[in-house]
């Protein structure tokens, strides 16, 4: 494959998880094609006004500019441009085989723009050994109940949607978490950028405290690179919800790597891990589709005890038991509603795709890193006027 291979926009079949380089290259996973797309947005300039993103019913507004209905819009990820601070959203428009990708930008005036993919400069790299397009996600019920219609619909989705679950850019390399088509299918891909057609693929195994088993099929859900114990390591989170460390030096082609489990957040599925600074302390924000976000101090991950099945009584563990959460998990932080996707907007604020706790609306909102909430769903003493 030639270096920096150009691809036609019409070959982009889907846009999923996203990651910006420090210079403004936007990497987007195309799971249907089994490829990484790299859009060149390095020419973007700093906004002349302070950004405060608050776009309510954002899926309805996206539907309007794409000429479709709100029910046909799915927002897959958000990412903040490192220079302009504008917010990019990867979109699926429609359902099933007829679905189309779209890329939407939100600027400093909270205006939405549909980016014409055909006029974007970008390159692509096809991934090796992604799941075959005929493979499907397994079908199971919930806690002994028969499968619901939504669970049946989930089982009809192609396994290939897990080819690219999360990405992290670090020192000229893109780290890609997902699965491949082998039995030991949880993998981390290490891809140099600019693309040159090469990748190294490491198989990843880890001990899941909640499940009380070693797992080699579940993909990493979210990850960041941090210097832990004096070396660069991936800090990664899995479903139900182990926190693991993986030294970058171990991620070599064809290597079978045993991730070091240092904790468990409790049952649920991590969504995003965002590094930030809070009052001068390095932190990692971890959001989850089933529980409150956590603030984890990076310092607390140093010298963390690595655990195995020998450290616990045998058997599965749930939140009502005394063990979970376990390890250096930091503290839960107040959050109203649910963050479906989140990124760091600037040194003091996040931008989050929120499902409102009361109305159910889907909103793109700026939140303080000190306390990531909006006050419209909170009524307290200070909201009640004092008697005259």
Rounded to 5 degrees, φ, ψ at 113 are -130, 130
Return the pLDDT at 103: 98
Q: Is 292 inside a domain boundary?
A: no
pLDDT tops 90 at residue 40: yes
Return the pLDDT at 121: 85
Share of the chain above pLDDT 70, in %: 97
CA 38 to chain centre: 17
Tally of domains within the chain: 1
Which residue, 285, 251, 244, is CA-closest to 368? 285
Tens of pLDDT, residue by residue over 92-133, are 999 887 899 999 999 999 999 999 998 888 999 999 999 998
Q: Is 218 inside a domain boundary?
A: no
Return the pLDDT at 251: 98
**Residue 358 burial (10 A CB sphere; 0-12, 13-18, 19+):** exposed
| Alpha carbon separation from 31 to 22, 67, 157, 162, 277 (Å, rounded) | 24, 24, 12, 7, 32
Note whether 373 and 334 are within 8 A (CB): yes
Q: Is 64 inside a domain boundary?
A: yes
More confident site: 139 or 114: 114
End-to-end CA distance of the chain: 76
More confident site: 143 or 198: 198
Q: Which domain holds residue 50?
A: 1-127+337-376
Q: Is 286 inside a domain boundary?
A: no
Report the pLDDT averaged over residues 346-350: 95
Q: Tell me the two tokens of residue 152.
A: 């049946």
pLDDT tops 50 at residue 357: yes
Report the pLDDT averaged over residues 342-358: 96
Return the pLDDT at 377: 87
Report the pLDDT averaged over residues 65-94: 97
Q: Is 326 inside a domain boundary?
A: no
**Using CA atoms, how far apart are residues 53 and 272, in angstroms rounded to an integer?**
19
Report the pLDDT averaged over residues 159-167: 96
Quickly state the pLDDT bin for 51 (edges 50, 70, 90).
Answer: confident
How many CB atoms lie under 10 A from the CB of residue 111? 12
Return the pLDDT at 144: 83
Note whether 16 and 31 are within 8 A (CB): yes
Give this prediction's pTM: 0.94
Which residue, 22, 85, 47, 84, is CA-closest to 366? 85
Which residue, 349, 225, 340, is CA-closest to 287? 340
Note whether 106 and 87 are within 8 A (CB): yes
Quickly state the pLDDT bin for 9 (edges 50, 70, 90).
Answer: very low
Token look-up 């980016």 returns 115
Q: What's the whole-number average pLDDT of the chain?
A: 93
Tens of pLDDT, residue by residue over 166-225, are 999 999 999 999 999 998 999 999 999 999 999 999 999 999 999 999 999 999 999 999
Q: Is 318 inside a domain boundary?
A: no
Token look-up 């376990």 returns 326
Report the pLDDT averaged over residues 64-91: 97
| Least confidently predicted of 30-34, 46-50, 352-356 | 46-50
pLDDT tops 70 at residue 74: yes
Q: Is 183 inside a domain boundary?
A: no
Return the pLDDT at 45: 86
| Alpha carbon separation from 74 to 16, 100, 101, 257, 303 (Å, rounded) | 10, 11, 10, 34, 41
Return the pLDDT at 3: 37
**Using CA atoms, how far apart are residues 28 and 39, in angstroms rounded to an integer?**
8
Tens of pLDDT, residue by residue over 361-375, are 999 999 999 999 998
Q: Is 268 inside a domain boundary?
A: no
**Using CA atoms, how far apart are residues 167 and 15, in angstroms rounded to an integer?**
13
Which residue, 54, 44, 52, is CA-closest to 82? 44
The one-character DSSP state at 110 is -
Note whether 208 and 267 are within 8 A (CB): no
Return the pLDDT at 4: 42
Rounded to 5 degrees, φ, ψ at 121 are -85, 125
């Amino acid at each position: 494959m030639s270096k920096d291979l150009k691809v036609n926009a019409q070959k982009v079949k889907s846009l999923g998880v996203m990651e910006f380089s420090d210079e403004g290259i936007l990497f987007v996973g195309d799971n249907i094609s089994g490829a990484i797309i790299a859009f060149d947005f390095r020419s973007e300039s700093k906004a002349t006004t302070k950004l405060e993103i608050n776009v309510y019913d954002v899926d309805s507004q996206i539907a309007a500019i794409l000429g479709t209905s709100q029910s046909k819009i799915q927002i897959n990820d958000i990412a903040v441009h490192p220079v302009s601070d504008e917010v990019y959203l990867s979109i699926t428009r429609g359902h099933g085989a007829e679905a189309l990708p779209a890329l939407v930008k939100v600027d400093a005036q909270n205006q939405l723009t549909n980016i014409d993919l055909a006029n974007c400069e970008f390159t692509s790299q096809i991934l090796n050994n992604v799941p075959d397009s005929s493979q499907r996600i397994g079908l199971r019920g919930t806690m002994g109940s028969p499968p619901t219609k939504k669970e049946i619909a989930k089982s009809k989705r192609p396994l290939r949607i897990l080819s690219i679950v999360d990405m992290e850019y670090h020192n000229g390399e893109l780290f890609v978490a997902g699965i491949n088509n082998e039995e030991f299918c949880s993998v981390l891909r290490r891809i140099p950028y600019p693309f040159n057609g090469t990748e190294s693929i490491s198989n990843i195994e880890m001990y899941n405290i909640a499940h009380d088993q070693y797992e080699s099929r579940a993909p990493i859900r979210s990850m960041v690179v941090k210097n832990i114990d004096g070396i660069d390591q991936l800090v990664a989170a899995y479903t139900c919800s182990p926190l693991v460390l993986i030294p970058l030096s171990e991620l070599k082609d064809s290597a079978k790597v045993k991730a070091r489990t240092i904790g468990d957040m409790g049952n649920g599925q991590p969504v995003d891990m965002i590094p930030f600074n809070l009052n001068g302390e390095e932190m990692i924000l971890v959001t989850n589709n089933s529980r409150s976000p956590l603030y984890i101090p990076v310092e607390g991950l140093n010298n963390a005890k690595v655990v195995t099945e020998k450290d616990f009584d045998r058997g599965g563990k749930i939140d009502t038991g005394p063990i979970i959460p376990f390890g250096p998990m930091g503290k839960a932080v107040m959050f109203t509603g649910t963050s479906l996707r989140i990124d760091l907007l600037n040194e003091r604020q996040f931008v989050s795709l929120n499902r409102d706790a009361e109305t159910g609306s889907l909103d793109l909102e700026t939140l303080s890193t000190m306390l990531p909430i909006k006050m419209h769903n909170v009524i307290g003493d200070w909201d009640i006027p004092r008697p005259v």
